[in-house]
Every structure is written in C-alpha cells, then in structure tokens.
Amino acid sequence: MADQAATMVPAGSTSHRLSFLGNLPLGALLLCAVLIAAATAATISNLTVQLPSALWVDALTAPDIDDMRQVLVHYAYLPRLAVSLLCGAALGLAGTVLQQVLRNPLAAPETVGVSAGAYLALALATLLAPSLLAYGREWVALAGALVAIAAVFGLSWHKGLSPLSVVLAGLVVSLYAGSIGAALIVLKHEWLAGLFIWGAGTLGQQDWTTTLWLIPRLGIAALAIGLMVRPLTLLGLDDEGARSLGVPLGVYRFAALGAAVALISFVVAAVGVIGFIGLAAAALARIGGARRFGQRLIMAPLIGAALLWAADQGVQLLTGSQGDLLPTGAITALLGAPLLLWLLPRLKLGSETPALTADRLPRALHPGLLLIGIAILLTAVLFFALFYGPGPAGWNFAFGDQLQSILSWRLPRVLAALSAGAMLALAGLMIQRLTGNPMASPEVLGVSAGAALGMIVALFVFVDASRPTQTIAATVGAFAALSVMLALGRRAAFAPERLLLAGIALTALFDALILILTATGDPRAMLLLNWFTGSTYGVDINAAILTAGLAAFLVVLTPLFLRWLDILPLGPTAAHGLGLNLTTTRLLILLMTAALTAASTLIVGPLTFIGLMAPHLARRLGLARAMPQAVGAVLAGALIMVAADWIGRTAIFPRQIPAGLVATLIGGPILMWLLRRR
C-alpha cells in the first residue's frame, strides 16, 4: 500500500535525553499530569460555582430532585464531564490507529476527512430523511465516514497513499463536504440553527443517555483494536518485514481502519465534530516519547481524554453558567491549527517525488484543434449566460429595449466568473506543477483562507462594512496568509509539502472560526457564508472590469513561467541539472499563484475547486506540455465557472445558488473520475 513509508521523528533531542531513564514515555506522562492537574483545578472551580462542596457526594450518588443545583450537577455537569473524557480518549485512540495503519504521522479524524463525512451524512439525514435516523445515528454517521474515507483513498491511491497525498485528499473531501453543508445553510438556514450547534461540537448534556450510549460502542471498537495490537505493531514495519513474519497485512489493516472509523463515527454521532483532539493526542504521545505502538495506544487516549476534559472545563470556566454558548469542538479546532503549525517542522515526511503520473495518459494528436474546440464551447456558453434566462414571464432571450438593462446585470457577473475561473485554473496548474502533487490547489494553499479571515475581521471590527472595506480586508488577509506561508517555507527552501501542510492548518483555523460564529447564531455569519460559497452576486461592472484586467495581465505574464513549469515536474535533481535556481523559481511561482488566487477569491469566494479540476481536465484531454495545458486549463476553468454561474442564476429562479457552489457540486464527481485509480 504505502511504498514511501513515512517515518516520524519524536522531537529528537528530548527523547534522547530521556532514553537513559528507560523506555517510559516520560514526556507524555508529564504532559498528561499537567493537563489533568489543570483540568481538575478547573473542574473544582466550575463545580464550586454550581454547588457547595458539602453536597457533592449527594449530587453524585443520590441527587435530591427538589434541589435544582443537585439535578444540574448530576444530570448536566457530570455527564458532560464523562462525555468529554470518553470522546477525548476515543479520538486519541482513533488518531493513533489511523497513523499506524496509514503509516502517516498526520493522519487523524479531521485530516483524513472522516469527521466531515460523518457530519455531512448526519446533517443530510436530519434535513432530508429524518426517518433514517431512527435506525440509529451511528449507522448514518458510519456510512458517511466510510464514503469519505473511500473517496480519500480513491483520490490518493495513485500516489501510493503517501502521507501528504492522503492528508491533501482528506482536506479536499472535508472542504467538499463543507461546501455541501454550506449549500444547505444558504438555502434553508432558518431550520439549521440546531445543526450548527451540534456540528460545532457542543458537549452539553442533560442526562446520562449519551454517556451510556457511547460506552458499549466505544468499548467494542477499543476492544477490537486491543486484540490487534501485535499485528498492528508489525504494520509499523515496512510491508516486506511484516510479510516475512507471516502476518496477513491486508485483513488487519482494514479491520483496524474500520475500528478507528467506527470510533470517530460514534463520537460525531454523539456530540458532533471535535476538532483536532485526535491529531493532537496522537502526535503529543509520540513527541512525548511513546515510541512503541503499544505505549502510544495507552498514552494517546489518556492525553486525548485529558485534553478534551481540560478544554471543555476551560470553556465552561470562560462562559459561566449563563454565558453565550461556545462549542467546545470548534474551540479545540481553533487551538489545533497553531498546534499543527508547530508540529510541522517536527515531522519528517520524506520528500515526495514529484510525479504527475500523467505519462500514461493519451496525448492529443492535434492540441490546437482541441483548444479551438474548447474555445468554441466557451463562446456558446457565454452567449447563453448573457442572453438566455428566466424572467417574470418565463424563460426567454433578452432582446430590444430590455437587452441593455438585463445585460447591465448579467455582464458583470459573467465577466467576473470568466476571469475568476481562468485565474483559478492557472493558479491550480502552477501549484500542481510546482508541488508535483495532483491534489494541490489554490484552496489548500491557505491564501483563500487568509482572504476569508480578513473578511471576518472586517465584518466584526467595522459595523456595516462596505464592499471596498471588505475587499481591502480580504486582500490584506490573503497577503498576511501568504507571508506566514513564505516565512514557514523559507527554511525548507519552499519545499512544496511544507507549504501545503501550512495551508491546511490555516484553512482549519478559518473553518473553526466559521463554526463558532454560526453556532452562536450571529447573523453576520450568513453574510460570510454567502460569500464563502462563491457567489458572483453583487459584483458591479467596475469590479468586474478590474478583475478581468488583472486576469488578462497575469495570463499575459504566464509565458515567462512556462519553461520552469515544464522542468519542475521532473524533480529537483533534474531541475538543478538544467540550471534552475530552485528557491527563486519556487518563490516566483508561489507569488504568482498567490496573486491569481487572491484576485479571484475576492470575487467568487475561497471554495471553488476550479483550480483543482481544470488542470486535470486539460491533462486528461491529452494536453501534456505546460503551454497547451495552461491554455486548455484557463479555457476550461472559465467555461466551468461561467456555466456554473449561469446554472446558479437560473436553476431555482428567482433564488440563486452561488456559482462556486454549483462548480463544486458538479466538479466533485468529475474530479473523482479524472483522478480515478489507474
């Protein structure tokens, strides 16, 4: 399965210093002790506010039903505590098993898309088929989780499930699930407030049902993992070594994976998505010196439980009993992003051989003809997008005196969609050729997330922020994110895999913020979501012309990059041999990508997947060299985006579906098909 097994270096120096003390994971134990001490202190403080300590034993064993304080401690406070411990432990265990099975130090419930899949399945079931939930929420969650992980495997299979490609595919799947979720919210948000709260990981309880529901389910999954410790330990070796010991690898690998996915699904079904506990617990156990798999299986759940316990008590301490609801799961996700950034330099991922496994794909005999074909198609779609659409009297072609006023609405949107699609496609092409990773795209570079963070700040700092303010804030955000990325990447000579991972961390940070906003019911979150889903709505002609001008300018610059883009996929050694200064080349391509992404993100939001899709589409059609692929991708990107905008404007007239969302919904399956196992 994974031929480039990832090795993990547990924060080198510490573990060496500790090794003379025997093989105990002292760091991890110490961390656990600190966390438990903090959590205990917070627990005592929270409990004291609720009930005088003289009554604690009564409240635990035989609560007086007439004393509201005791009822609350017994049926709300204590079960919440139990649930936080259970879920934290389950996520830590699941994270460790995933890392072992996938030989991937970054694997975790969030990073492989499992949490997002389970969440989306439950959200869809709640809205569209509530009767399904009667069979058990866990089954719905499990089905969603399995679909998600199957999609992740499908997307990263041809890269041998290498750590980076799995995590990237996981992010893409999570983002995809997220944008379907956003579609539901935009179209039916009045009914979804409860879903937000649950989705953001609220641990609040009102009886012991959830606890009692979780214990047997988590217990069985944990037991199954416990029975597989020996074969799973061998899985950590390379395939050869394990096979020579006579272990049927495949069976155990799938069984363990199933158990981990089940653990995650149960947690999601019970309390929603608890961000980053799984990753943090598994990684901290390793870094704390738990090197053997058996040790990690014990330490990671302990750390996970302690982490979530401490985090949840901290949240309760912050909000108090009458404070606004703050979902713990989103808070942990918020804390998880910096943690991921901190972890990056401490992980040894092994650099990936840039190999767009494209060489087996057919090459077009007449690339020129093909490009002309796409261009004709684009022209046709442009014509319909501008002139044909529904009105108060049904579908009609715009003509005569109507024409001018209708065009004044449609032209800016079509122009904006066209430019944004072209720019995103070009950005995607560059980042994919730069990183040699087919799952790389502008969305995962973090620039989009940076722009989105800028928007959030603008909406909350300036009351009634006007459009220019929003634009400036988003631009500042995009470049701030880029600076962070560049600062992080400089040490590694802009090694692509570091950059992609940093982008993932930034994206996660942004996601967590959105979750917190929506869960507290702030109406401003809706404005953000509308933009987030990629709407060309409200683009005026000046903004559209500006974007189009920018797009034209950047596209004209592209020929300067073409030679590099042809060479880079051959690998660093070949690039050196051909006299390329890697650092400078990478920096320039990165800047170009960031400019393209920022300019398009401002118009159509951070989530379109055009950047991911269009280059693959061009390649699949047989455009192999950088030049024809670039032209093909730009045309295809523009085509998809204009078509998506037109469909979005007309499909449920007079309501509108954001263009970015339409592109995503159509593009997801296409992408799966393009990247299908070869």
Q: Interface residues with other proteins (CB under 8 A)?
A: 65, 68, 71-72, 74-76, 126, 130, 186-187, 190-191, 193-195, 197-198, 202, 204-207, 321-325, 389, 391-392, 405-406, 408-410, 463-464, 466-467, 470, 519-523, 526-527, 530, 535, 537-538, 540, 649, 653-656
**Least distance from C-beta 492 to other proteins, angstroms?**
40
**Least distance from C-beta 649 to other proteins, angstroms?**
8
CB-nearer residue toward other proteins: 32 or 665 = 665
**Least distance from C-beta 182 to other proteins, angstroms?**
13
**Least distance from C-beta 259 to other proteins, angstroms?**
29
**Least distance from C-beta 120 to other proteins, angstroms?**
18
Round to whole Å and give the CA distance between 111 and 504.
Answer: 9
CB-nearer residue toward other proteins: 402 or 581 = 402
CB-nearer residue toward other proteins: 190 or 359 = 190
CB-nearer residue toward other proteins: 530 or 558 = 530
DSSP assignment of 488-552 equals HHHTTTT-HHHHHHHHHHHHHHHHHHHHHHHHTT-THHHHHHHHHT---TT--HHHHHHHHHHHH
**Six-digit token string for 397:** 């072609």
Phi and psi torsions of 389, nearest 5°: 180, 170
**Least distance from C-beta 653 to other proteins, angstroms?**
7
Phi and psi torsions of 388, nearest 5°: -115, 130
CB-nearer residue toward other proteins: 206 or 353 = 206
Helical (H) or strand (E) element with 366: none
Helical (H) or strand (E) element with 389: strand 388-391
The one-character DSSP state at 77 is I
DSSP assignment of 25-61 equals -HHHHHHHHHHHHHHHHHHHHHHHHHS-GGGHHHHHH
| Dihedral sign of CA atoms 345, 348, 354, 356 in order | negative
**Least distance from C-beta 428 to other proteins, angstroms?**
27
Angle subtended by helix axes 659-674 and 400-435, to nearest 10: 40
Round to whole Å and give the CA distance between 286 and 171.
Answer: 23
**Six-digit token string for 371:** 């490009």
**Six-digit token string for 76:** 């709300």
Strand partners, 388: 397
CB-nearer residue toward other proteins: 441 or 530 = 530
**Other Cβ atoms within 10 Å of 231 Cβ, number:** 18
CB-nearer residue toward other proteins: 55 or 361 = 55
**Six-digit token string for 518:** 């929506």
CB-nearer residue toward other proteins: 21 or 463 = 463
The one-character DSSP state at 325 is P
Round to whole Å and give the CA distance between 552 and 581.
Answer: 27
**Least distance from C-beta 140 to other proteins, angstroms?**
14
**Least distance from C-beta 584 to other proteins, angstroms?**
40
**Least distance from C-beta 196 to other proteins, angstroms?**
8
Angle subtended by helix axes 610-620 and 626-650, to nearest 10: 130
Round to whole Å and give the CA distance between 358 and 306.
Answer: 46
Asked if residues 594 and 448 have their Cβ atoms less than 8 Å apart, the reply is no
**Least distance from C-beta 86 to other proteins, angstroms?**
18
Strand partners, 394: 391
CB-nearer residue toward other proteins: 210 or 629 = 210
CB-nearer residue toward other proteins: 7 or 405 = 405
CB-nearer residue toward other proteins: 335 or 526 = 526
